[in-house]
Amino acid sequence: MHSGDAVVPVFCVDPRQFAPLPSGVPKTGVFRARFLLEALADLRASFRAMGGDLIVRHGRPEAVLPALVREVGARRVLMHEEVASEETTVEADVSTLLEGMGASLEGVWGHTLYHADDLPFDLVSLPDVFTKFRNRVERESVVRPPRTAPRRITTPAIEPGVLPTLKSLGLPRVVDDPRTLFRPVGGETAARARLDHYLWKTDGIRTYKDTRNGMLHVDDSSKLSPWLALGCLSPRRVWSEVQRYEQTRAKNESTYWLVFELLWRDYFRFVMARFGNQLFAVTGLQSSRFPWRSLRDASTRADFARWTAGTTGFPIVDAAMRELSASGYTSNRARQNVASFLTKNLGIDWRLGAEWFESLLVDYDVSSNWGNWAYAAGVGNDARGFRFFNLQKQSTEYDPLGEFARHWIPELRTDSRTAYPTPMLDLFATAKANEARYERVARE
């Protein structure tokens, strides 16, 4: 918010972000809420060090922002532009309210590696598969270098407001599980430290392509996702550090691959901007009529509960689901496996999986989450039809010694007195039956 030469950096704690989702789980669970609180404290400290402050207000932006505009006499309100409907609806409502007061709301594009204005096509012509998107942006566009932060800011002397706490948000205290492999701390300070660690201190990036499918070690992948998702770190900053690393230390397939993954992130963001609410619909982007099992049915509720609790009898699924519940994170490989199991074996409505992730993930990003889920369910941008993960093969390939499984499933350890559940289904028979249903509706 601009008021004369002064800026009023404001964060609005919107209660809707902490309300329950349709399936009953909180929209923002404790891991992401804690991360947000840490990020706000870090941001406030940075602004204070620059002579300004972070103003915090509790309530809906539709109520908070007009009141603040009136209080400080601001004429321009700048916001980070969002793409999903919950956020764009709020933006539109705030814009109307501010206009009525003679002030303006202006969007600033961020979040992506390639700026929306630099895409070599209109959003309506967004390529329908990732590879085409990547080829075109890599060939025909450039990444803008990151901006340098201001050294000083001036904030008018107004009540700064108190930072929320887990308690004030109606959430319980977090008790960290001692088995937690990755515990990110919110804020730009920790984000930069992680980037420094992964690139410069450990050279993790040098072997990223070979290690990125690992599930057990924190440096198997960059682990930058929580900071990228919340905006504590920009992909352009990551990109420019990768460039510097390539110029001064090493340039190989792995260093490229990290940027390649950031392009997936861009792609899902632009898919959300292009298709909007279609990405939240059960039919996805394919208008698929697949007969998903729903929670109205008691047997589905029981099966879904086994998936969420990590008691399916498939160690590679159960370890990942337990890790997610205990820490708010699980690796990309693990996410793909559990998503395949829920949708291709259990045949349960993929949106329930997406909501479960939305609540728990510390790195939840609306576009990446719903885009990846739709993709995994075979209703997203995927030209390849019904693909299911052979979990036996996945275990042999990615957890050959069963270390990841034993890390999260005490029943599998030799000294355990508790029995591990027997598999709840036949992997191949269920996948085959669901594939037949998938093909049938595709022909209809």
Binding site for ligand FAD (CB under 6 A): 212, 221-225, 228-229, 258, 261-262, 264-265, 268, 331-332, 335-336, 339, 357, 361, 363-365, 368-369, 372-373, 376
Question: 47 or 130: whose CB is closer to ligand FAD?
Answer: 130
350 tagged catalytic: yes
Catalytically annotated residue among 62, 71, 264, 435 = 264
Q: Rounded to whole angstroms, how far apart are CA atoms 248 and 416? A: 50
Catalytically annotated residue among 62, 261, 411, 435 = 261
Closest separation in Å from C-beta 59 to ligand FAD:
26
- Residue 279 to residues 97, 149, 270, Cα–Cα distance (Å): 29, 35, 12
- Residue 356 to residues 23, 246, 349, 368, 379, Cα–Cα distance (Å): 8, 38, 12, 14, 18
Per the structure block, which two tokens stand in for 302?
Answer: 């029981």
Question: 154 or 278: whose CB is closer to ligand FAD?
Answer: 278
Q: Rounded to whole angstroms, how far apart are CA atoms 46 and 267? A: 31
Catalytically annotated residue among 81, 86, 257, 332 = 332
Closest separation in Å from C-beta 263 to ligand FAD:
8
Rounded to 5 degrees, φ, ψ at 104 are -125, 150
Catalytically annotated residue among 227, 239, 307, 350 = 350
Name beta bridge partners: 79: 107
Question: 44 or 351: whose CB is closer to ligand FAD?
Answer: 351
Catalytically annotated residue among 356, 370, 373, 408 = 373
- Beta-strand (E) ranges in 6-70? 6-7, 10-13, 55-58
Closest separation in Å from C-beta 432 to ligand FAD:
22
Question: 311 or 372: whose CB is closer to ligand FAD?
Answer: 372
381 tagged catalytic: no
Is residue 66 within 8 A of residue 60, CB to CB? The reply is no
Of 371, 364, 363, whose CA–CA distance to 275 is shortest? 371
Question: 103 or 339: whose CB is closer to ligand FAD?
Answer: 339
Closest separation in Å from C-beta 402 to ligand FAD:
21
Per the structure block, which two tokens stand in for 405?
Answer: 């499984």
Closest separation in Å from C-beta 44 to ligand FAD:
25
- Kindly calculate the radius of gyration of the chain based on its CA atoms and give it in whole angstroms: 23
Which positions are catalytic?
261, 264, 292, 332, 350, 373
